[in-house]
Structure 1
Amino acid sequence: MAWLWWRLLSGDPMDVRTWRLPSLDPFLVMASLLLLTMVGMLLGATIGAGRSPHIMFRPEQIEVTLDDVKGVDAVKEDVVRSLNLFLAHRAFTEEMGGTPRRGLLFEGLPGTGKTHMAKAMAREAGVPFLFVSATSFQSMYYGATARKIRSYFRALRKAARRDGGAIGFIEEIDAIAMTRRGMAAVPAPSLADPVLPFDPSLLGHTSCGWNAPANALFVGRTAATDRSAISEGTGGVVNELLVQLQSFDEPSGAQRIHAWLAEQLNALLPAHRQLPRPVPTRTNALVIAATNRADNLDPALLRPGRFDRRLTFDPPGRVARRELVDHFLARKAHVPELDDDDVREHLAALTQAYTPVMIEHLFDEALVNALRREARAMTVGDIERARLTEEIGLGQPVQYTDHERTLIATHEAGHATTAWLVAPERRLEVLTIIKRRDALGLLAHGDRDEVFTRSRTEMLNLIRIAMGGMVAEELFVSDVSTGPGGDLVTATSVAAQMVGVCGMDESLVSFQAVQGATLSQTNIVGRVLGDPQGRAAVERLLHEQKQHVHDLLTENRHLVAALRDALVSRHELIGAEITSVLEAAATRHAEANDVAEG
């Protein structure tokens, strides 16, 4: 700048009009720019390839405490014990001679509180929390994944030494820790293993004759060694992870320099003048990993010294669900009716097999329903409709003919009436003729109490409820439609369980004990029906129960008719609305009989 002013003042300014740009080949210019861009991208990727992808939270940045973790009391007790060991690691190690826990594996369904619990542990311990998703370790560059893992554990050790402790959390660890080739995975149960009794809660009139209940599944987990999910670098990545999980007692950088200097000086000193080398101090670090697929993890990860403790987060039981209902409703707008203990117990019963996240989402959807009707607080009806939408699907407008509407209402009324008469242990939840997915209408029913086993009578009642729709059609329409197709799937499955698994028929032979290349690929229903005697027993059992329902509904035609008429006019009945119609019809029928006899 000074040189330019000097030329201006001396009368010899620069004239830019005389400048001439050199002649350049446009192709060379474009090629050079492209080359520089590629080199820049490669250098940037190389520099960042080994950087740890974690996010560090200080304790004061975490709002979750152990008091906020609901529905997993059994796991919380063990977590508190692990947390106490973590905080008292020095006394536990030096005074008692124990080996501290280095890793906890949280396994369970999505939404059961695994990440929530890990954050609460870091908050309660008052130490840094290094959160990372396992997928963020993955890289397209060879060796970069292992470098990122090393960087992450280096950062974890550094934070633990600086703050007296640190907790690292790896989300979805199965992304980088699948079973290596040649390693025996933890065996997964096959279809030959026992399964729970078939428990339908939805019985619907279907348009195509096939409507398996939404929560009635016969599923076997696939083998743990799914080769399609294993990439070429899996072995190296898992090996690096195994090494790093045992790196917490390694010397720090300063200790390594100290040891090197001591070695250099000791080479010049006599034996009696040797300098002592530094002893590595134990690093108080705890690694927590979460996964939904623990059986697919490499078995070397699960041995003591790596992941010392394996905690399973199951869906909460009824008592825990009641606690969750109270916790979430305390923060969400609701009508006073939802403060009643009986109503909240009812909600806890309705949400069987729900995870904490699912329960909170259910209440959020109920608030959406309240907004649709221009209200500012949810009601029980809003929650019921939200649950129906979540589990079965949105209602779809269908222009039924008058005959179809009456037929479907008759079919569903047959289910509900049968359930009300034969199974007082079951709760009638929703009865509707509004189309949802493949179901033109349905009855949703469930256990009044949370049960884990069933008696023979209860299993027979499930078959009878399934047969109620077909029998009602025969009695009132003198014909059978395609609607009972899904009901027969339910009834056949329950009957096959009774005959082939539970010993509830004449034979005590269990078809679960049958092994073989062909049979092992067939579920229990296929095995029972594939056996001539088993098929005959199932057929006989189904016909007996259908006849029982036929006699029952013939005697109580007035109940089916009353419920059918209510469905035709109102389209959907929820909870107490169903039983109110049946009780009123039973009362009217009894009064009419008294008048006739009088």
Structure 2
Amino acid sequence: MPHRRQERDRSMDITRLSSGAMLSGDDIDANANRERMRQQRLRRKLYLLSPIFAYLVYRLVTDNPIRPGIPGWLTGNPEIIIALGLICILGAVILIPFLTTGRSPHTVLRAEDSNVRLDDVVGADQTKREAIDSMNLFLASETFEEVMGGKPRRGVLFEGPPGTGKTYLAKAMAAEAGVPFHFVSASEFQSMYYGQTNKKIRTFFKNLRKAAREEGGAIGYIEEFDAIGGARSGMNTGSQREGIVGVVNELLVQMQSFDLPSGRDKFKMVWVDWFNKYLPPHRRLKRPKSPMANILIVAATNRAADLDPALLRPGRFDRTIGFNVPARKDRIEIAQYYLDRKSHDDEVTAVLIADVSAGYTPVRIEKLLDEALIIALRDGRTSMRMGDVLSAQLVTEIGVAQEMGYHPDERRRIAIHEAGHALTAVLTRRDVKVASILRRASALGLVAHGDAEERFLKTPSDARDLICVALAGRAAEQQEYGEASSGISSDLAYATNIASQLVGQLGNGPGLLSLEAAAMPTAANIVAKVLSDEVSREAAEAYMVEGAERASLMVEKYRAALYEIADALCENDEVEGDQIRAIVAGYTDISERRGPVRIKAPI
């Protein structure tokens, strides 16, 4: 009957294991192991302290109790006390730095140390599910191995751009796991002493094995893993050996060391081997076996391609969980999570925040809202408005606006330049947010625009529209002043990048071959590769010429709209996108959303 009851319990574990929710309570093998180890520690302490306690009781009963204090031969010799004190201080100064050089730099976190829970992880359902599955397999490793015959995961790699929530999810895992969570940055392993980096890594894994056997399981989290897990290929021996090759070799060994015996088991093995030397084969003692330590290693990096391939093979980091920039649906959840905790007017909604934050990471969304609160506070308000959010977006993306005190002629030229960008952006169906002639960072003015709807694919037509918008400031200046100023330099660089991508990456040049795939040591980027190839350079130049001609036709045909936008900029410094669209709508129909306004060249 007990066996059948155990089978029923195991089947319940498997059912919960596949539910996608975090295991808890009796479903966690680690909890049972932790309780068993706790009782074992109590028994050991009882066996150790019982003789000492009995001896103290015996001394007390025989009227000869032990009285603590300083020995009499020391009380009358202050010179000896001073000498011993100096020796202790000198020994500490010499030994402590030496003994701590190979110490593991990790920090142990418990559930109560983290205020982040899995419920706080929003906008990443699939990533969260993958992490929960890995946690459940770790917490119910015995069930998974004994009932289903599987091997639990020992290593999970978090990979994604900065700010996408890798460390945030790790903190939530630390709070929910209920086992020791060893947090460490990979750079903390590095040491100025030869061999100490490897020793720190060995000590880190040794502490993990010890904690896992005492607590039923342990999780190790290594931040910025690429600092110690970089690829070994092409590295020479010598001074670089420990920094690259030796460290990676140490990691490879330690990832297979979860069944190494503890110090106590090693001590037993020594004595068993000593006795067995004197015993016949049929009477030899069995060597103690060390169970597999229940350990999960989680490593985080934003450069997974730079890691050594041996680390990513099955049995080591055999599961990679990707963290990506959230899509619109996820951004709505993230924005709502933060809005619930921040003061805002009713006009500020999660949907609007998601619309203006395309391409933002969760950290950037939170920073955007914090900056909006700062702007509201500067105006004497305690809650943010949507205008504060848009202003905060310009501050976080471009910089703080500065009034430069332009000469009137120069002010008008900058306004004409930005009006050209704004006009063509509206005509090509771009979503214009604001146009400004205030200086931000190195830009004397700007036009902020984006896609009207979030899209993940770009077409060659989209790229040509962007080239046209980029070159429209040049076209407007040439039309009004006969030549363009130095303000077009960044526009030309941006347009050249897009044209080079069309030719060298997207197959819109003279052939379908990708120049990006070429291993050219003298060309660090796609622009250099395109410019170094004569045929590709001519194709990219053709896109630039086409864009410049389209921009010239647009600013010439809608010259009145260009002047009206420029006048508004000269008067107000900044003009909102709705006002710009209203100005352009007075001269042409921009309600159709199927494509850009087509301008035909005069015959």
* Aligned counterpart, 2:423: 417
Q: Partners of 1:538 and 1:263 in 2: how far apart? A: 76
The 1:45–1:234 alpha-carbon spacing in structure 2 relative to 1, beyond 3 Å, is: farther
Q: Partners of 2:238 and 2:116 in 1: how far apart? A: 38
Shift of 1:34: 12
Question: 1:384·1:574 contact (CA, 8 Å) conserved in 2?
Answer: no
Pick which of 395-404 and 454-463 moved more.
Answer: 454-463
Q: Partners of 2:530 and 2:99 in 1: how far apart? A: 62
Shift of 1:154: 2.1
Question: 2:258·2:295 contact (CA, 8 Å) conserved in 1?
Answer: yes
* Aligned counterpart, 1:549: 551
Q: Partners of 2:538 and 2:247 in 1: how far apart? A: 55
Matched, 1:166 2:218: yes
Q: Which amino acid aligns with 2:347?
A: E
Question: 2:161·2:324 contact (CA, 8 Å) conserved in 1?
Answer: yes
Q: Which amino acid aligns with 2:208?
A: L
Q: Partners of 2:489 and 2:340 in 1: how far apart? A: 44
* Aligned counterpart, 2:35: none
* Aligned counterpart, 1:474: 478
Shift of 1:581: 4.1
Q: Partners of 2:505 and 2:107 in 1: how far apart? A: 51
Shift of 1:484: 2.4
Q: Which amino acid aligns with 1:142?
A: Y
* Aligned counterpart, 2:140: 88
Where do residues 19-98 of structure 1 align in structure 2 (5 Å cutoff)? 40-98=92-150
Q: 2:335 aligns with which of 319, 325, 334?
A: 325
Q: Which amino acid aligns with 2:558?
A: N
The 1:169–1:268 alpha-carbon spacing in structure 2 relative to 1, beyond 3 Å, is: same
1:153-198 Cα shifts (integer Å, max 9, x gaps)? 2221122112211111122233333334xx36xxxxxxxxxxxxxx
Question: 1:511·1:528 contact (CA, 8 Å) conserved in 2?
Answer: no
The 1:227–1:394 alpha-carbon spacing in structure 2 relative to 1, beyond 3 Å, is: farther
Q: Partners of 1:530 and 1:50 in 2: how far apart? A: 51
1:365-401 Cα shifts (integer Å, max 9, x gaps)? 1111111111111122222222212221222231101
1:331-376 Cα shifts (integer Å, max 9, x gaps)? 111111013xxxx334223323322112111211111111111111
SS in 2 for 1:337: coil
Q: 1:396 aligns with which of 385, 395, 402?
A: 402
Q: Partners of 1:405 and 1:142 in 2: how far apart? A: 61
Q: Partners of 1:67 and 1:321 in 2: how far apart? A: 16
Q: Which amino acid aligns with 1:257?
A: F
The 1:493–1:254 alpha-carbon spacing in structure 2 relative to 1, beyond 3 Å, is: closer
Shift of 1:516: 6.7
Q: Partners of 2:517 and 2:294 in 1: how far apart? A: 51
The 1:443–1:34 alpha-carbon spacing in structure 2 relative to 1, beyond 3 Å, is: farther
1:290-321 Cα shifts (integer Å, max 9, x gaps)? 22333333333222222222222222222222
List alignment gaps of at least 5 residues for structure 1.
8-20, 22-32, 185-224, 588-598
Matched, 1:338 2:338: no
The 1:583–1:65 alpha-carbon spacing in structure 2 relative to 1, beyond 3 Å, is: same
Shift of 1:503: 4.4
Q: Partners of 1:241 and 1:529 in 2: how far apart? A: 43
The 1:245–1:389 alpha-carbon spacing in structure 2 relative to 1, beyond 3 Å, is: same
Q: Partners of 1:558 and 1:34 in 2: how far apart? A: 90
Where do residues 203-352 of structure 1 align in structure 2 (5 Å cutoff)? 230=240, 232-339=242-349, 344-352=350-358
Question: 1:559·1:586 contact (CA, 8 Å) conserved in 2?
Answer: no
* Aligned counterpart, 1:10: none
Q: Which amino acid aligns with 2:163?
A: G
Q: Which amino acid aligns with 2:166?
A: K
Q: Partners of 2:268 and 2:212 in 1: how far apart? A: 20
List alignment gaps of at least 5 residues for structure 2.
1-69, 80-84, 590-603
Shift of 1:230: 4.3
Shift of 1:531: 4.6
1:197-249 Cα shifts (integer Å, max 9, x gaps)? xxxxxxxxxxxxxxxxxxxxxxxxxxxx6999946454443333332222211
Shift of 1:469: 1.5
1:113-172 Cα shifts (integer Å, max 9, x gaps)? 112212222322221211122232233333333333232222211221122111111222
Q: Which amino acid aligns with 2:433?
A: E
Shift of 1:499: 4.2
The 1:303–1:470 alpha-carbon spacing in structure 2 relative to 1, beyond 3 Å, is: same
Q: Partners of 1:353 and 1:369 in 2: how far apart? A: 23
* Aligned counterpart, 1:489: 493
Pick which of 148-157 and 373-382 moved more.
Answer: 148-157
How many residues are treated as equivalent by the alignment?
509
Q: Partners of 1:542 and 1:511 in 2: how far apart? A: 20
Question: 1:75·1:312 contact (CA, 8 Å) conserved in 2?
Answer: yes
* Aligned counterpart, 2:381: 375
The 1:35–1:86 alpha-carbon spacing in structure 2 relative to 1, beyond 3 Å, is: closer
Q: Partners of 2:238 and 2:282 in 1: how far apart? A: 61
Q: Partners of 1:544 and 1:228 in 2: how far apart? A: 55
Where do residues 438-457 of structure 1 align in structure 2 (5 Å cutoff)? 438-457=442-461
1:451-476 Cα shifts (integer Å, max 9, x gaps)? 23222332222122123222222333
The 1:581–1:374 alpha-carbon spacing in structure 2 relative to 1, beyond 3 Å, is: farther
Q: Partners of 1:241 and 1:287 in 2: how far apart? A: 11
Shift of 1:536: 4.2
Where do residues 146-161 of structure 1 align in structure 2 (5 Å cutoff)? 146-161=198-213
The 1:114–1:531 alpha-carbon spacing in structure 2 relative to 1, beyond 3 Å, is: closer
Q: Which amino acid aligns with 1:53?
A: P
Shift of 1:408: 0.7
Question: 2:507·2:514 contact (CA, 8 Å) conserved in 1?
Answer: no
Q: Partners of 2:207 and 2:100 in 1: how far apart? A: 15
Shift of 1:483: 2.2
Q: Which amino acid aligns with 2:426?
A: W
Q: Partners of 2:185 and 2:141 in 1: how far apart? A: 27
SS in 2 for 1:440: coil
SS in 2 for 1:305: coil
Q: Partners of 2:393 and 2:236 in 1: how far apart? A: 35
Q: Which amino acid aligns with 1:387?
A: Q
SS in 2 for 1:290: strand
Q: Which amino acid aligns with 2:225?
A: I
Q: 1:562 aligns with which of 561, 564, 586?
A: 564
Matched, 1:111 2:163: yes
Q: CA RMSD in A?
A: 3.2
